[in-house]
Amino acid sequence: MEDVDAAPTTLARARDAHGEVVLRCRPPGTYELVVNGVFAMDTVDVATEELLATLALDRVPARDRPGDGGRTVLVGGLGLGFTTRRVLADPRVTSVVVAELHGALVDWTRAGLVPPAAGLLDDPRVQVVVADVRDVVTGAPPGSVDAVLLDVDNGPDFLVHDGNDALYDAPFLRLAATRLRPGGVLAVWSASPSPRVRAALAQVLGSCDEVLHVVERQGRTFTYALYLAPAAPAAPAPAAPAAPPTPDA
Ligand SMILES: C[S@@+](CC[C@H](N)C(=O)[O-])C[C@H]1O[C@@H](n2cnc3c(N)ncnc32)[C@H](O)[C@@H]1O
């Protein structure tokens, strides 16, 4: 049970060019991340952070043919690692690139200072890039990933960095969509329903599912939202040429 009156303990604090990052713990065992002076997340209810990965990967079509390789996922925002851990729980996933703006959070995670993310970055399938997710998406080769999962703010209406606003509009989402393989999925987390994100994803990829999750905390009701938009599937393989007619015997 969350004890909202308990004073949080600061476990780690760092400042970089993008602002301050603070990791806190609130008894009896809730971890909180504050980024640039803005509450970014805590561990009271991480169902949607995990569902972001699960629902996206559920929508990615099977690749069973020889040579198709495993699944590749790009995650925007390490946070406390729940989305990335859930991605890695899928044995089909062979590569995960995590873009995280704040290097200190990556350092703390590697050093074991972030208990929810213990051991996460030891998985050889994970590559963490300390950079803006916008740059990591831009640098990814077109058609190279099966899912792009964006959870860098509390959604477009509650940003941790003002510069993230453009991540929720069609131009960036269109760029991200070009990085998807056929049948890949572009997914976005939001702390509240966002018609803006849903419309932008539908504009870019043709359709967008909204998944809502109601959370009760501190006597208030929150509705977290996930947006999932699939890219067009691969065109069916061309039919084998018809066998030439057999001459009559
Ligand atoms: C809400 S947390 C992510 C939570 C994560 N899904 C999880 O399961 O723990 C947001 C993270 O995104 C990072 N971030 C914010 N803006 C970013 C950006 N433009 N590029 C990359 N990371 C960013 C923050 O530092 C923070 O670690």
CATH number, position 106: 3.40.50.150
Q: Specify the pLDDT at position 245.
A: 74
249 belongs to a structural domain: no
Which one from 42, 90, 132, 151 is the annotated catalytic residue? 151
Q: Specify the pLDDT at position 4.
A: 57
Q: Specify the pLDDT at position 5.
A: 62
Distance in Å, CA 209 to ligand 1 centroid: 22
SS3 state at 59: helix
User: Using CA positions, which residue lies closest to atom 14 of ligand 1?
Assistant: 152
**Beta 71-76 vs 38-42: how paired, if at all?**
unpaired
Domain count, the chain: 1
16 belongs to a structural domain: no
Q: Ligand 1: does its nearest atom lie under 6 Å from the Cβ of 78?
A: yes
Annotation marks residue 151 as catalytic = yes
Q: Which ligand 1 atom sits closest to the C-alpha of 105?
A: 27
Q: What is the DSSP string of 116-184?
A: GGTTGGGSTTEEEEES-HHHHHHHSPTT-EEEEEE-SSS-TTS-SSGGGGGGGSHHHHHHHHHTEEEEE
Write out the residue range of the structural domain in which residue 84 sits: 45-230
The preferred substitution site among 22, 54, 101 for testing ligand 1, maximizing ligand atoms within 8 Å of CB, is 101
246 belongs to a structural domain: no
Q: Specify the pLDDT at position 248.
A: 63
7 belongs to a structural domain: no
9 belongs to a structural domain: no
pTM over 0.85: yes
Q: Specify the pLDDT at position 67.
A: 65
Averages of pLDDT over runs of 10 residues in the chain (249 residues) are: 72 97 95 97 96 97 71 98 98 96 98 96 98 98 97 95 97 98 97 98 98 92 97 83 70
User: Using CA positions, which residue lies closest to atom 11 of ligand 1?
Assistant: 77
Q: How distant is the alpha carbon of residue 158 from its chain centre?
A: 17
Q: Ligand 1: does its nearest atom lie under 6 Å from the Cβ of 152?
A: yes
- Read off the amino acid at residue 172: F
Q: Specify the pLDDT at position 7.
A: 84
